[in-house]
Amino acid sequence: MTIATTKGQPSLVDSSTESVSGDLAQPSERASSASKGKLWAGRILTTLAILFLLFDAVGKFVVPRPVAEAFVRLGIPLGLSFSIGVLLLTCTILYAIPWTSVLGAVLLTGFLGGAVAIHMRAGSTTFETVFPVLFGVVVWAGVYLRDCGLRRIFPVRR
């Protein structure tokens, strides 16, 4: 942002739309297509994350044999399955709503951090322990690519 004066009044000018000569210009088509690309990539990552999380939450409610075995192996009482499912479903719904997606991502980060801790305590395989971290990256990448406000707060610099 730069400050320009118009009729003696200062005003803010977005320097990203200024050309080299200092004249105001429309954002280039390449920049807008890159923005659309980021938006669609974010939507795709978010949709995939939501579908996976909903599948996981349903598994906590239905409790098929593999889920029950995992609960026993990790030392989690099977009676907590419903509560964990409600917690996961609530976080996922908050993540799915655009106005609360950042809050949902923060809550899912905590949920996934708990999963890492449980897997580490149980001595699970490396993949089972690292997967929640990688999935958290996908969750945040989806929000980051969709939300230009978040990109302004946490810019990626080259």
Question: How confident is the model at residue 18, as a pLDDT?
Answer: 43
145 has pLDDT over 90 = yes
List the single range of 19-23, 79-83, 113-117, 151-155 with lowest mean pLDDT: 19-23
Can you list the pairs that 95-100 forms with residues at least 24 positions away whose Cβ atoms lie under 8 Å? 95/46, 95/49, 95/50, 95/53, 95/139, 95/143, 96/46, 96/50, 98/146
Which pLDDT tens digit goes with each residue over 70-129? 999 999 999 999 999 999 999 999 999 999 999 999 999 999 999 999 999 999 999 999
pTM attached to this predicted model? 0.77
What's the pLDDT band for 31 if we cut at 50, 70, 90?
A: low
